[in-house]
Amino acid sequence: MAKRTNRARAGHRGSEPPPDLPLRPTAFAALAALAHGPVAGFTILERVNATTPRRPILGPGTLYRLLRDLRREGLIERTDAPRGEDGGEDERRTYHVLTPRGRAALRAEGLRLKRTMEAAGLLPALGTDG
């Protein structure tokens, strides 16, 4: 319990402690898929699988287990379909959105990965501008 209290004092705003890092790669990819607003589950699946060039890393069963876990961790929540969204009236579609805690986790993990790449001297080699 002291670990969470110390972390909360170390710069986390809000009443909830920040999520434990590092995030699993699939969790990070799912949170990134939600970065710009509400997304339906199948679209999350497509976006996550687009991050790997050779073979899908998530199937429908693993996606919905992952989404359940992310909801339990308070990183995402279910929401209504965005206005004007094709198929928004379809009851089978479940939309998700980042919570403030989920957005903080996405940002923190992105920064952690960036620092790791910088420490390894890989960012310039990959052609990024920082």
Q: What is the pLDDT of residue 123?
A: 77
Position 57 pLDDT exceeds 50 = yes
Does some domain include residue 125? Answer: no
Does some domain include residue 66? Answer: yes
Pick the more confident residue, 84 or 117.
Answer: 117
Does some domain include residue 108? Answer: yes
Does some domain include residue 77? Answer: yes
Q: The tokens of 36 are what?
A: 């710009």
Does some domain include residue 5? Answer: no
Number of compact structural domains in the chain: 1
Does some domain include residue 127? Answer: no
Each residue's pLDDT tens digit, 62-100? 999 999 999 999 999 999 988 776 655 667 789 999 999
Position 21 pLDDT exceeds 70 = yes
**CATH number of the domain within which 55 lies:** 1.10.10.10
Each residue's pLDDT tens digit, 94-116? 999 999 999 999 999 999 999 99
16 pLDDT tier (thresholds 50, 70, 90): low
Residue 91 exposed, middle or buried by CB count within 10 Å (0-12, 13-18, 19+) = exposed
Residue 90 exposed, middle or buried by CB count within 10 Å (0-12, 13-18, 19+) = exposed
Q: What is the pLDDT of residue 20?
A: 83
Q: Domain residues for 56?
A: 22-119
Does some domain include residue 45? Answer: yes
